A and B are shown apart, each in its own frame.
Chain A
Amino acid sequence: MTTIAAPMASRPRRAPLSPPLVYGAAAIAFLLVLWFAATAIPGVVSNKVLPSPFDVVERFATLAADTFSGSTLFGHAAASLTRWLIGVTVAVGLGVPLGVLLAWLPPLRPAVTPVFELFRYIPPFAWVPIAVLWYGASTTTQAMIVFIAAFPACVINTQLGVAQVDSILLRAAKTLGAGAATTLSRVVLPVAAPAIFTGIRIAFSNGWMALVGAELVVGKQGLGFLISQGQINDSVSTILVGMITIGALGALIDVVLQRVQRLLLPWKSATTRPVA
């Protein structure tokens, strides 16, 4: 009893950040109605510029069932997800160990700083033209863009997570006779795990966003390709179906990861701010 209300009593209460569900639903329903009204009332918006929500749903069903630009909607989504998965797997596989190394062995940091600073401000997307030159319109090109987008978040957040492990814990482990390997695996990594996981989540999301861009420029399959085909065919409903699918999959990936994080790492998450 005491512990629940004490902090509330001492300061003015504030409304939580996330709104009650009703308001959100109402706001979005309102937008949908507005969208529908704009397309339904003749002369407001041409159907060619903005099809009605029902047209989009219909288009969704068509794309799900029939082949468009080489695949069904699911085929395009599967192609995108495959490339994405390859890219982020490599990024996590290389980035997390590198982050641990950088935090654990500080003299390595200045060695990689120049490269990191050089590449940090080049948008992943700016790599598309050179990736195309190197690997052509292949899965490698797409996966490379995903990798470039995802890698830094893995490294930086892992490094921060490991570096913030309290040195008292390290000393405690030492006095208990733990060697470097034991300390790393039993003390450092569990403490750093939430930060690392947050980094992975950011990496996954960054990778997904960049992939769409890459697919707009190169490739013959994928959701980005689908919307660019929609553009070429002047089919706004196709574009919208593609955008919604991309957004929904991106959101789904993040929700799943949040669940996994809560399941695997139920302990308190790190205090450092994640770096995107």
Chain B
Amino acid sequence: MATRVRSFWRTPPGKIAWLAICLGSIVVLLGAWWYLTRPGGGISPLFLPPPDEVLDAFVRLLSRPYLGSTLGQHIAASLEVVMTGWLAAGLVGLPLGIAMGWWRKARWVAFPIFQVLRPVPPLAWIPLAIVWLGIGESARVFVVFIAAIVPWVMNSMQAVYSIDALLVSAALTLGANDRQILTRVVCRTALPTLVAGARISLGNAWTTLVAAELLAATSGLGYIALNASRTLEIGILLVAMAIIGVLGALFSVIMQLVTRIVAPWSRANAEGA
């Protein structure tokens, strides 16, 4: 008997057991949330409101404008900034990173600069951005750009640098010139890793945007969160956090889909790291 109990705990659960435990865990969590926040449940609604109140807040956000904009407009504002900053960073960072991975001299010159910049948290650029650009969209785009460019460059460089040198040799002996090797062999082979870098970069951009919106914004999800916190509307605050999380997760899923589309041959697709 003892060994059977042990072996249950030491074996990975099957698909159905996995789902069951997952569901059970969710039910227990929701139950605990509801139980503890019910009137007289021990947790004040000012600390954590009950589930139905959060749902109400969500419905309210959907149906009525909040802080001058609808929820859709707030989300659009956030998305616009994050996409602008991220894409601008990619426009610079992707070619730069590829060049740094491919040409030794480019790496020698540019790598140290990024090594010096890397330890400075992107968030620490926010005050500088505000002084330089004011509390406007350009300040936020700037900070997102800073947050996104380091992972764009570093991951693209790593992706190109770590291409198996043997593939380059093979292409050389088959008669490819440098340009053909870079475009047909190196960049194509590195594609999944390049997209992974873009994904990390987007994640950073999103995280940083939320911070920037807490400090320098008049719309956006971070702005909702901060205002809700000031006006003690915890339900709305939680909804804003949840939307931020869901969008972050969505970005990650989309980027994984992109990998599958642009590099159907990639084994990394299965891993999903």
Asked if chains A and B are in direct contact (CB within 8 A), the reply is yes
Residues of chain A at the chain B interface (Cβ within 8 Å): 11-12, 14-15, 17-20, 23-28, 31, 49, 104-107, 109-115, 117-130, 132-134, 208-210, 212-213, 216-217, 224, 227-228, 230-231, 234, 236, 239-240, 242-244, 246-248, 250-251, 254, 273, 275-276
Cβ 8 A contact of B214, one of A129, A212, A243? A129
Q: Are A247 and B119 CB-contacts (below 8 A) given A12-B168, A227-B127?
A: yes
- The reply to whether the CB of B91 lies closer than 8 angstroms to some CB of chain A is no
Which residues from A are CB-within-8-Å of B215?
216-217, 228
Q: Are A27 and B110 CB-contacts (below 8 A) given A107-B13, A118-B245, A231-B127?
A: yes
Cβ 8 A contact of A126, one of B17, B115, B130, B241? B241
What 0/1 pattern do residues 37 to 55 of B give for CB contact below 8 A with A?
0000000001100000000
Q: Are A243 and B124 CB-contacts (below 8 A) given A107-B8, A118-B245, A254-B119?
A: yes
- The reply to whether the CB of B176 lies closer than 8 angstroms to some CB of chain A is no
- The reply to whether the CB of B1 lies closer than 8 angstroms to some CB of chain A is no
Contact A123 B211 (CB under 8 A): yes
- The reply to whether the CB of B249 lies closer than 8 angstroms to some CB of chain A is yes
Which residues from A are CB-within-8-Å of B13?
106-107, 109-110
- The reply to whether the CB of B104 lies closer than 8 angstroms to some CB of chain A is yes
Task: Report the nearest A residue to B271, measured CB to CB.
Answer: A273
- The reply to whether the CB of B232 lies closer than 8 angstroms to some CB of chain A is yes
The main secondary structure of chain B at its interface with chain A is helix
Write the nearest CB–CB distance from B60 to chain A, whole angstroms.
18
User: For residues 95 through 118 of chain B, which have their beta carbon under 8 Å from a beta carbon of chain A?
Assistant: 104, 107-113, 115-117
Interface size class of B (residues with CB under 8 A): 35 or more
Contact A106 B47 (CB under 8 A): no
Stretch at the interface among B65-73, B182-190, B223-231, B255-263: B223-231
Q: Are A27 and B109 CB-contacts (below 8 A) given A111-B25, A234-B131, A246-B124?
A: yes
Residues of chain B at the chain A interface (Cβ within 8 Å): 8-13, 17-22, 24-26, 29, 46-47, 104, 107-113, 115-117, 119-128, 130-132, 161, 165-166, 168-169, 200, 206-208, 210-211, 214-215, 222, 225-226, 228-229, 232, 234, 237-238, 240-242, 244-249, 252, 273
Q: How far is the CA of A276 from the CA of B252 in the complex (A)?
A: 14
Contact A246 B104 (CB under 8 A): no
Q: Are A216 and B107 CB-contacts (below 8 A) given A49-B132, A112-B25, A239-B131?
A: no
Q: How far is the CA of A15 from the CA of B110 in the complex (A)?
A: 15
Task: Report the nearest B residue to A107, measured CB to CB.
Answer: B13
Task: Report the nearest B residue to A249, measured CB to CB.
Answer: B119
Contact A246 B245 (CB under 8 A): no
Contact B232 A127 (CB under 8 A): no
Which residues from A are CB-within-8-Å of B121?
208-210, 212-213, 246-247, 250
Contact B29 A11 (CB under 8 A): no
Q: How far is the CA of A107 from the CA of B24 in the complex (A)?
A: 12
Contact A250 B120 (CB under 8 A): yes
Could you show 23 A-B contacts with beta carbons less than 8 Å apart? A12-B165, A15-B107, A19-B109, A26-B109, A27-B108, A104-B10, A110-B21, A114-B25, A118-B245, A121-B248, A122-B242, A122-B248, A124-B207, A126-B210, A127-B241, A129-B228, A133-B232, A212-B124, A213-B123, A228-B215, A244-B120, A250-B119, A276-B200
Which residues from A are CB-within-8-Å of B169?
11-12
Q: Are A230 and B22 CB-contacts (below 8 A) given A14-B165, A126-B241?
A: no
Contact A239 B128 (CB under 8 A): yes
Write the nearest CB–CB distance from B10 to chain A, whole angstroms.
7
Q: How far is the CA of A128 from the CA of B123 in the complex (A)?
A: 13
Q: How far is the CA of A105 from the CA of B10 in the complex (A)?
A: 5
Write the nearest CB–CB distance from B41 to chain A, whole angstroms.
17
Write the nearest CB–CB distance from B168 to chain A, whole angstroms.
7
Task: Report the nearest A residue to B13, measured CB to CB.
Answer: A107
Which residues from B are CB-within-8-Å of A117?
249
Contact A228 B127 (CB under 8 A): yes
Task: Report the nearest B residue to A149, measured CB to CB.
Answer: B207
Which residues from B are CB-within-8-Å of A118?
245
Knowing that A27-B108, A107-B13, A111-B21 touch, tell me 9 more A-B residue pairs with CB under 8 angstroms. A11-B169, A28-B116, A106-B10, A111-B25, A124-B207, A230-B131, A243-B124, A247-B117, A276-B200
Which residues from B are CB-within-8-Å of A273?
273
Q: How far is the CA of A11 from the CA of B163 in the complex (A)?
A: 13
Cβ 8 A contact of B19, one of A110, A134, A243? A110
